[in-house]
Amino acid sequence: ERQEVRPYNRQRLLVVANRLPVSAVRRGEDSWSLEISAGGLVSALLGVKEFEARWIGWAGVNVPDEVGQKALSKALAEKRCIPVFLDEEIVHQYYNGYCNNILWPLFHYLGLPQEDRLATTRSFQSQFAAYKKANQMFADVVNEHYEEGDVVWCHDYHLMFLPKCLKEYNSKMKVGWFLHTPFPSSEIHRTLPSRSELLRSVLAADLVGFHTYDYARHFVSACTRILGLEGTPEGVEDQGRLTRVAAFPIGIDSERFIRALEVPEVIQHMKELKERFAGRKVMLGVDRLDMIKGIPQKILAFEKFLEENASWRDKVVLLQIAVPTRTDVPEYQKLTSQVHEIVGRINGRFGTLTAVPIHHLDRSLDFHALCALYAVTDVALVTSLRDGMNLVSYEFVACQEAKKGVLILSEFAGAAQSLGAGAILVNPWNITEVAASIGQALNMPPEEREKRHRHNFHHVKTHTAQEWAETFVSELNDTVIEAQLRISK
């Protein structure tokens, strides 16, 4: 095999996340095609180019046969990706169960799913066991590919058990862990039966990162209150060993979006969209079809706006792109029917023979179509009930240099801390307030739009995904050096 020549100054980065940046679709016994995966984590990490990065993660499919596994590993290797093969049962218990039915709703303050709360409580232990087993499988693959000096960067709530597994293999491994969701108040975290084990395994990392200072603070207080450890301005201390805890707000590769607006295909798309919605203001929502995104609340607020503002009824349209996600989890299935029901009702109520107020799509758009849509939008609605950061708000701002549209943004999204000064901040649970903010946005004078956009655009341009990753990795390198110095003193 061809020996790889690595530029001497480039450190190798092993990025470990549950989902690889590409998802595999089987085309034949040994042939696969790869598609870009959805979600904020992937869109941010696509902007990280400075390192010799390898990706380790689940390809999103069950591949029970060796022929298929070999062929898929080969196809993924071209994208610098290394698959972790998880069988159906593990995916069911670890991914659908513990990750997405327990940790995800809890970390977003939504509690356990209402209807099957007791069933979920009963399956806690077996699902947690599967979670640990899956994390161990990730650790095995990391360990197999690890070379001395590599930085191992673990991502998200799926892999909270991974830092501990990795340090057990090799205590010298440089391990960072970053959470892309909120970390909830310690009062929420302490309801988890596995609360202590999860905290302890995350603390095995050298550096632990969050999007906002608040999430970092919640994590530290969970460690002090639940584990009785000492919180310091640097992080958490346990018998003289420090785990550094800090905030690293993520960004996007803004230039990629700005450049896309000059591609002829995007310009053509924009032209078509403008013709299609001529005479109407375009409002846009782009979300994974997830309960944390507050899609039903957003649509109800739009209905309220139409109810109270008859003169706007034929002058505004809401385009809602809802990318299906985690479709095997019952809570997500329920959400899909709920959203369809509400959209249907409102379109029946306010639609005419020639136009409907809401266009709802249950699918993702390709990158160019998405950029065109962002660029022609007058008002973007990001109404997450909770959201680690929310990069859709960043993507929208990046595409608005010409139009200077308005961003309505939930105060419960991490992005509210960075784009708050330019956006109209709302409490997404208060549909009267959101309806009023729609009116405010549609009627906003151009000078005010310009001023708000300037603020946000500057932030999105200067706080990139690239910079985020570089800061985290250099902080991780420094943390490890400082720890070595402390030990040798």
Contacts with ligand G6P, residue ranges (CB under 6 A): 19, 38-41, 156, 180-181, 325-326
Least separation in angstroms between CB 57 and ligand G6P? 9
Least separation in angstroms between CB 315 and ligand G6P? 34
For residues 71 and 154, what is the distance between their CA atoms, to the nearest angstrom? 26
Pick 156 or 206: Cβ nearer ligand G6P: 156
Return the SS3 of 151. Answer: strand
For residues 85 and 73, what is the distance between their CA atoms, to the nearest angstrom? 10
Report which of 189, 193, 176, 251 is spatially closest to residue 217, judged by C-alpha positions.
189
Residue given tokens 């409490």 in the structure block:
427
Q: Are 409 and 425 in contact (CB under 8 A)?
A: yes
Least separation in angstroms between CB 15 and ligand G6P? 12
Report helix angle 213-227 to 195-203, nearest 10: 120
Least separation in angstroms between CB 198 and ligand G6P? 16
Report which of 54, 41, 47 is spatially closest to residue 150, judged by C-alpha positions.
54
Alpha-carbon separation of residue 139 from 64, 83, 198, 480 (angstroms): 20, 12, 16, 20
Please identify the residue of the shown chain whose CB is closest to the bound ligand G6P.
39
Least separation in angstroms between CB 325 and ligand G6P? 5
Residue given tokens 């599967």 in the structure block:
130
Least separation in angstroms between CB 469 and ligand G6P? 16
Pick 201 or 325: Cβ nearer ligand G6P: 325
Pick 40 or 68: Cβ nearer ligand G6P: 40
Per-residue burial over 38-76, b = 16 or more CB atoms within 10 Å of its CB, e = otherwise: ebbbbbbbebbeebebbbbbbbbbebeeeebeebbbebb
Pick 302 or 412: Cβ nearer ligand G6P: 412
Pick 325 or 479: Cβ nearer ligand G6P: 325
Pick 201 or 437: Cβ nearer ligand G6P: 201
Least separation in angstroms between CB 329 and ligand G6P? 9
For residues 305 and 297, what is the distance between their CA atoms, to the nearest angstrom? 12
The dihedral formed by the CA atoms of 122, 128, 129 and 134, expressed in degrees to the nearest 10: 140
Pick 325 or 410: Cβ nearer ligand G6P: 325
